[in-house]
Structure 1
Amino acid sequence: MTTETTETKETGATGRGGPAVLVVQHEEDAGPGLVGERLVRTGLRLDVIRAWRGEALPETLGGHAGLLVLGGSANCEDDEAAPWLPRVRGLVREAVAGEVPLLGICLGGQVVAHALGGAVSRRARGPEAGAVPLRRLPAAEGDPVLGGVPEGAPAAQWHWDEVDRLPDGAVPLLTGDDCPYQAFRVGSAGWAVQFHPEVGADTVAAWAAVDGEDLRAAGGDPEAAVASVREAEPELRAVWGAVSEAWGAVVRARAGARGV
């Protein structure tokens, strides 16, 4: 299976048996990708809700063992453009309160911050795009999901907004030169990242085909962004695939303890 096929295929309910992770997908070209592939490999089942198509999110997490909120182009407070966001915020709060494993990616991470009392703003210095090296913060040591990320590991970026204030009690884990809150932990089993661990260069190239002119107008270089992700792709897949499996292990362990 090629990287492009892995990233863009429609997932639906993926995986046989095993604990189920509720996946909130906001856009057609922003699926679970590598993260979903690795979660299925760990024995989890993905229950993907394509919210932009009008597929209804559940009222509660119910029998789901985890919650994965993916990325997208909407602002995390734009309930008119994405009318399912209030329900997503409710599910995020339920996950944190109930210690159900949570992972928010890019827009999903911003939703986590906003839902729990943090703040998100437009980047005054323009969008961050391409493969960007990250730095570990002290709290990353021993973290069950991000503790193994090496210093300077690249991460694929494509975002115009960013978290500018963490929720009370949130623990920053990874940072970067141009974006302070690249990853943080909330509660006992919640994680949020600003970058895209789920994508490779083919997906970033597809985004550049749509948003490249906007990126260029804001001072970015879409061709360079795609090239940097393509060059870093083997390391991206190794590092963030391992992180995905580590989060999957948390989901499975918690599911067993909760009998889900």
Structure 2
Amino acid sequence: MTVVQSSPDATLDRFADWLGEVDVRLVRADLGDAIPGPTEVGDGLVVLGGHMSAHDDAVAPWLPGLRALLAVVSATDVPALGICLGAQLLAVARGGRVELAAPPGREAGVVDVRWRPEAEQDALLSGLARAAGPRRSTAQASMHADAVVDLPRGAVWLASSSTYPFQAFRIGSAWGVQFHPEASRETLRAWADGHVDVDTEAVVAQADARADEVEAAGRALAESFAALVRTRAAVRVPV
């Protein structure tokens, strides 16, 4: 499985342990590693977050290649997961629209992600959606100001929050999640410290108060994605 990282502080974080025995090839695009071709990603693809926008090609010249990779991989049987920036890149790659500095403002801290009925039958998110119970929501870490405002044609809308509607979606074999299931308390604090419009202590207090919920949800998503990668590897016919 290939993981593409675009910023030094937007790492696999807790996913590094939660993905279990899946072999991970890390591509540090921010350090000059080449974006792989669609046939080079292996049995899965994860595109992590980053500080740039989904259209910031001048700042991050690897983004066109990464969008192209997501467009192709999402049309195959290879499971792919875009997290925050990764979700926005996936949306744009497949014809959706991302708004920069969206009017609702930055979504920071722990948010309640509300699952739509479609999520209960979803290959990746059904476990989380069904475990949410009558509340139909799950606590997730979040830190973003840009947002997907139009899903690509053919995408399945899977989750929302009170601030932003498109918290999770699926298109083809790829999923986009606007939240950060991988983020630890320490990572969330560091991100909050980097934004003058964020109350770091409030963010940390939310993370502490709901630590068990956030960890359980993130672990469940990582394990579910790892299972999809293993399944794909098991059925793949060698060339």
Percent identity over paired residues: 41
Determine if the alignment matches structure 1 residue 192 to structure 2 residue 176: yes
Number of residues paired by the alignment?
231
Q: Counterpart of 2:113?
A: 134
Give the TM-score normalised by structure 1. 0.85
For the Cα contact (< 8 Å) 2:108–2:192, is it kept in 1?
no
Q: Counterpart of 1:183?
A: 168
Amino acid at match of 1:46: V
Amino acid at match of 2:190: A
Runs of 4+ in 1 over 6 A off after TM superposition: none
Query: 1: distance between equivalents of 2:50 and 2:212?
Result: 24
Pairing of 1:1-260 with structure 2 (within 5 A):
21-39=1-19, 41=20, 43-62=21-40, 64-122=42-100, 123-149=102-128, 150=132, 151-187=136-172, 189-211=173-195, 213=196, 215-216=197-198, 221-259=199-237
Cα offset, 1:147, TM superposition = 0.9
For the Cα contact (< 8 Å) 1:201–1:227, is it kept in 2?
no
What is the Cα-based RMSD across aligned positions, in Å? 1.3
For the Cα contact (< 8 Å) 2:111–2:139, is it kept in 1?
yes
Amino acid at match of 2:156: V
Query: 1: distance between equivalents of 2:87 and 2:28?
Result: 18
Structure 2 residue matching 1:167: 3-state secondary structure: coil
Amino acid at match of 2:228: V
For the Cα contact (< 8 Å) 2:182–2:218, is it kept in 1?
yes
Query: 1: distance between equivalents of 2:150 and 2:158?
Result: 14
Query: 2: distance between equivalents of 1:147 and 1:140?
Result: 5
Cα offset, 1:92, TM superposition = 0.5
For the Cα contact (< 8 Å) 1:117–1:168, is it kept in 2?
yes
Cα offset, 1:114, TM superposition = 0.4
Structure 2 residue matching 1:23: 3-state secondary structure: strand
Give ranges in structure 2 of 5+ residues lacking alignment: none
Cα offset, 1:30, TM superposition = 0.7
Query: 2: distance between equivalents of 1:61 and 1:130?
Result: 37
Q: Counterpart of 1:12?
A: none
Amino acid at match of 1:254: R
Cα offset, 1:98, TM superposition = 1.6
Query: 2: distance between equivalents of 1:259 and 1:33?
Result: 32
